[in-house]
């Protein structure tokens, strides 16, 4: 068993920890907290409410795998919501133009930030910090007050629910209610699957890991390090744009206070999912489970009755702390065990 763990790659080891913790946590919630958590809809609501966070966290994981960071994603999400709301409600646009706006904003942020970071060699933290400030500021410049969108096409799109056959519960009145998901969930799942295959099987995906693992040796292997980094930020920006639209479809309004702190939640989710900020280690499936774990914790806290806003912050932080310490201890143990194992072998030769 221990040998098996030692032979696992870092990525898989951290992924396993995350998945096990999530399953145990949800199982405990089902056993001890009962009713609410037993409904399939509760589980699906995890996706419904957090589809945009899943997409953002996926983009962030890409960047973190290449060894960078992008904290502008929350700001971009808010900016996309506001711009789309203004476009639909005040400028008389339709759903297609608003989608194009969302993609355009995301792509623009990705391109500019990627260029500054990859080709001008400026620290990613500073660039994306400025990006976050810019996006947040621009959101209020576009429109100061929150807007509720009343466009008919959009509201019909927003209220579209996809029924999952076979799942559902009978409510108190004895009527059978089907379990449903929103369109955003489909988008999120498609993106997760696509990114999983890109990272695992495409040349670009492998390049991301190589650049994050060791930039110098990636360069020597003939990988275009600058272009790879650039592309990771473009992907992240684009995904932030898409996430913005998904968020917009979920809430149906634009407001400067949207997606407040989303970047930190996304970073936390990626880390819980086993992505390391040093780069080279991470997995999209892990990120998905990271988001789910984070949100399950929040659900559990509210259902226990610790409704005060501060408890959510404290529990999330405690969980993040525990995960970080577990990661650090496991990695240290594994590496020191590997070193002990290697030493006699080295002595023989």
Rounded to whole angstroms, the Cα distance separating 84 from 87 reads 5
Among 1, 2, 96, 309, binds other proteins (CB under 8 A): 309
Task: Please identify, among the stretches 30-38, 137-145, 182-190, 198-206, the one whose residues bind other proteins according to the rule CB under 8 A.
Answer: 137-145
Rounded to whole angstroms, the Cα distance separating 18 from 26 reads 12
118 binds other proteins (CB under 8 A): no
What minimum distance in Å lies between the beta carbon of 329 and other proteins?
8
336 binds other proteins (CB under 8 A): no
Record the tokens describing residue 267, joined without a space.
């970073």
Among 5, 129, 225, 330, binds other proteins (CB under 8 A): 129
Task: Please identify, among the stretches 9-17, 46-54, 159-167, 263-271, the one whose residues bind other proteins according to the rule CB under 8 A.
Answer: 263-271
Question: Do residues 73 and 59 touch, judged by C-beta distance below 8 A?
Answer: yes
What minimum distance in Å lies between the beta carbon of 85 and other proteins?
16
Among 8, 28, 126, 339, binds other proteins (CB under 8 A): 126
Question: Do residues 44 and 180 touch, judged by C-beta distance below 8 A?
Answer: yes
Q: Residue 249's closest CA among 136, 155, 162?
A: 155
Rounded to whole angstroms, the Cα distance separating 181 from 187 reads 11
Count Cβ atoms below 10 Å from residue 176 Cβ, excluding itself: 8
What minimum distance in Å lies between the beta carbon of 116 and other proteins?
7
Question: Do residues 84 and 253 touch, judged by C-beta distance below 8 A?
Answer: no
Nearer to other proteins, 132 or 195 (CB): 132
Strand runs (DSSP E) across the chain, as ranges? 147-148, 161-170, 176-182, 253-254
Rounded to whole angstroms, the Cα distance separating 345 from 283 reads 32
Among 8, 204, 221, 317, binds other proteins (CB under 8 A): 317
What minimum distance in Å lies between the beta carbon of 81 and other proteins?
15
Site string for other proteins, 169-208 (x = CB under 8 A): ----------------------------------------
Question: Do residues 124 and 117 touch, judged by C-beta distance below 8 A?
Answer: yes
130 binds other proteins (CB under 8 A): yes
Among 48, 312, 334, 337, binds other proteins (CB under 8 A): 312
Q: Residue 323's closest CA among 279, 280, 270?
A: 270
Rounded to whole angstroms, the Cα distance separating 276 from 283 reads 10
Nearer to other proteins, 84 or 316 (CB): 316
136 binds other proteins (CB under 8 A): yes
Nearer to other proteins, 80 or 188 (CB): 80
User: H-type helices in 162-308, by residue range?
Assistant: 183-201, 203-213, 215-220, 225-251, 262-272, 284-304
Q: Per CB under 8 A, which of residues 14..43 are in contact with other proteins?
A: none
267 binds other proteins (CB under 8 A): yes
Q: What's the gap between Cα 141 and its chain centre? A: 27
Rounded to whole angstroms, the Cα distance separating 229 from 121 reads 11
Give the alpha-carbon dihedral of 300, 301, 302, 307, to 10 degrees: 170
163 binds other proteins (CB under 8 A): no
Among 20, 34, 91, 119, binds other proteins (CB under 8 A): 119
332 binds other proteins (CB under 8 A): yes
Residues that bind other proteins in the complex, under the rule CB under 8 A: 69, 116, 119-123, 125-127, 129-134, 136-138, 140-141, 144, 256, 264, 267-268, 271, 277-278, 308-314, 316-318, 320-321, 324-325, 328-329, 332
């Amino acid at each position: 068993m221990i040998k098996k763990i030692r032979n696992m790659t870092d990525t898989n080891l951290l992924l396993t920890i995350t998945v096990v913790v999530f399953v145990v946590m949800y199982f405990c919630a089902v056993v001890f907290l009962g009713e609410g958590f037993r409904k399939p809809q509760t589980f699906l609501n995890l996706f419904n409410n957090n589809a945009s966070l899943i997409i953002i966290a996926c983009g962030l994981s890409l960047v973190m795998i290449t060894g960078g960071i992008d904290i502008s994603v929350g700001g971009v999400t808010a900016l996309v919501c506001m711009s789309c709301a203004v476009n639909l409600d005040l400028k008389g646009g339709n759903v297609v133009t608003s989608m194009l706006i969302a993609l355009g904003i995301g792509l623009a942020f990705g391109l500019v930030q990627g260029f500054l970071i990859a080709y001008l060699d400026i620290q990613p933290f500073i660039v994306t910090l400025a990006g976050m400030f810019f996006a947040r500021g621009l959101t209020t410049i576009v429109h100061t007050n929150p807007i509720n969108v009343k466009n008919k096409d959009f509201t019909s799109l927003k209220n579209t629910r996809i029924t999952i056959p076979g799942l559902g519960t009978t409510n108190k009145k004895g009527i059978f209610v089907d379990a449903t998901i929103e369109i955003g969930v489909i988008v999120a799942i498609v993106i997760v699957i696509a990114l999983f295959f890109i990272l695992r099987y495409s040349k670009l995906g492998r390049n991301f890991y190589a650049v994050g693992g060791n930039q110098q040796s990636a360069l020597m292997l003939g990988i275009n390090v600058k272009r790879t980094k650039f592309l990771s930020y473009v992907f992240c920006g684009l995904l932030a744009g898409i996430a913005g639209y998904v968020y917009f479809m979920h809430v149906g309004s634009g407001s400067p206070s949207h997606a407040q702190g989303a970047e930190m939640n996304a970073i936390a989710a990626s880390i819980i999912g086993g992505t390391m900020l040093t780069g080279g280690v991470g997995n999209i499936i892990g990120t998905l489970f990271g988001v789910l774990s984070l949100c399950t914790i929040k659900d559990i806290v509210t259902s226990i009755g610790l409704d005060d806003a501060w408890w959510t912050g404290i529990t999330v932080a405690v969980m993040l702390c525990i995960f970080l310490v577990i990661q650090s201890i496991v990695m240290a143990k594994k590496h020191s065990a590997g070193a002990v194992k290697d030493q006699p072998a080295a002595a023989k030769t």
